C-alpha cells in the first residue's frame, strides 16, 4: 500500500464480478454518501470512450471512483488529467520504472509507447462524477482495427505482476493528492505536471474529432485543458479528439 494510506473519508467496495464498475456506480449514485472506489475483479460489460467496448481479461484492473462534486462541468472534466497523473504515480511507485510510463492527452497512460490504460468520465446524476479506470495489468485485448496505439500489458512489458487491489491502494491516495492540488491551486500545477510527462510534445500529431482531422505540431495544453496544435492554417485549440502519432 502507498505510504500515504487510504484517503480519509473514502469508501472502498471490492466486487468479484459486475457488468461494469461505471454501471455499478450509476446504480449507487442516488444513495451516495462518501466518495467511493468500486473495484471489480471481473467485468462482463466494460466500456470505454464513445461507447466502445472495453475488454477486461482476468487479472486486469477495473475501478470507478464516484463522488459528489459541486463544480461546473468544465472543471469536472479536468479530473481526466488528475486521474492520468495519479495512475502514472501509482504505477511508478509500484514498479520503480519512472521512464517506462508516459502520458497521452487527455488522459491515457502509455507503457513503452503502447496503450496501457483507459480513463472515462461520466456524470450519472446532477452533482455526481464517476471516473472509470481500466489498466491492462496481466493481459492485453486484441487491437482494434485502426487503433492509434497497440494495447500492452504491464506483466508482458516489464515482467512485473501487480494485483488489482494492490494498484488501487496506491491509486486512491495518489488521486486524492492531485485532486487536492486542483481544488487548492487550480489547473496550473496539473497542467505543468502533465506537460512534463506527456508524449510527443513539440512533435507532429494528428487529432481526429467526429467530423474533422487536424494535423500539426503539438505546442501545448491550454488553461482549459484543450490540445493546442500549430497547423498550416494557424494555432488550433482542440477540446476533444482522438490522437494519432504520424
Q: What is the pLDDT of residues 192-220, one digit of tens each?
A: 999 999 999 999 999 999 999 999 999 99
Bridge partner list, 120: 132
Please, are residues 47 and 119 in contact by the beta-carbon 8 Å criterion? no
Amino acid 1: pLDDT: 44
For residue 120, pLDDT over 50 is answered with: yes
Query: Average of pLDDT values for 233-239?
Result: 96
Please, are residues 160 and 137 in contact by the beta-carbon 8 Å criterion? no
For residue 246, pLDDT over 90 is answered with: no
Bridge partner list, 109: 103
Task: Show the domains of the chain with their CATH numbers.
Answer: 11-197 (3.30.930.10), 204-244 (2.30.30.100)
Amino acid 245: pLDDT: 87
How many Å from the N-terminal Cα to the C-terminal Cα in the chain? 39
Amino acid 56: pLDDT: 64
The predicted model scores a pTM of 0.92
Amino acid 144: pLDDT: 72
* Sequence-separated (6 or more) residues with CB below 8 Å from residue 184: none
Residue-averaged pLDDT of the chain:
92
For residue 5, pLDDT over 60 is answered with: yes
Please, are residues 166 and 154 in contact by the beta-carbon 8 Å criterion? no
In this structure, of 20-24, 92-96, 228-232, 242-246, the range with the lowest mean pLDDT score is 242-246
Amino acid at each position: 500500500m502507498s505510504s500515504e494510506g487510504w484517503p480519509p473519508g473514502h469508501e472502498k467496495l471490492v466486487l468479484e464480478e459486475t457488468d461494469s464498475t461505471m454501471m455499478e456506480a450509476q446504480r449507487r449514485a442516488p444513495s451516495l454518501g462518501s466518495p467511493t472506489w468500486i473495484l471489480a475483479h471481473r467485468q462482463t460489460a466494460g466500456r470505454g470512450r464513445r461507447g466502445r467496448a472495453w475488454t477486461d481479461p482476468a487479472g486486469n484492473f477495473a475501478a470507478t471512483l464516484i463522488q459528489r462534486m459541486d463544480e461546473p462541468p468544465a472543471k469536472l472534466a479536468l479530473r481526466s488529467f488528475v486521474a492520468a497523473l495519479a495512475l502514472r504515480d501509482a504505477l511508478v511507485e509500484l514498479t520503480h520504472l519512472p521512464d517506462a510510463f508516459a502520458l497521452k492527452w487527455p488522459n491515457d497512460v502509455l507503457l513503452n509507447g503502447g496503450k496501457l490504460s483507459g480513463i472515462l468520465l461520466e456524470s450519472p446524476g446532477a452533482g455526481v462524477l464517476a471516473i472509470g479506470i481500466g489498466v491492462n495489468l496481466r493481459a492485453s485485448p486484441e487491437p482494434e482495427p485502426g487503433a492509434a496505439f497497440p494495447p500492452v500489458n504491464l506483466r508482458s512489458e516489464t515482467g512485473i505482476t501487480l494485483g488489482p487491489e494492490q494498484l488501487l491502494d496506491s491509486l486512491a491516495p495518489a488521486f486524492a493528492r492531485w485532486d487536492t492540488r486542483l481544488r487548492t491551486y487550480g489547473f496550473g500545477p496539473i497542467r505543468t505536471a502533465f506537460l512534463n510527462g506527456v508524449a510527443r510534445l513539440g512533435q507532429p500529431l494528428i487529432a481526429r474529432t467526429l467530423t474533422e482531422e487536424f494535423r500539426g505540431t503539438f505546442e501545448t495544453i491550454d488553461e482549459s485543458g484543450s490540445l493546442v496544435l500549430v497547423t498550416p492554417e494557424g494555432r488550433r485549440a482542440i477540446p476533444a479528439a482522438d490522437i494519432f502519432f504520424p
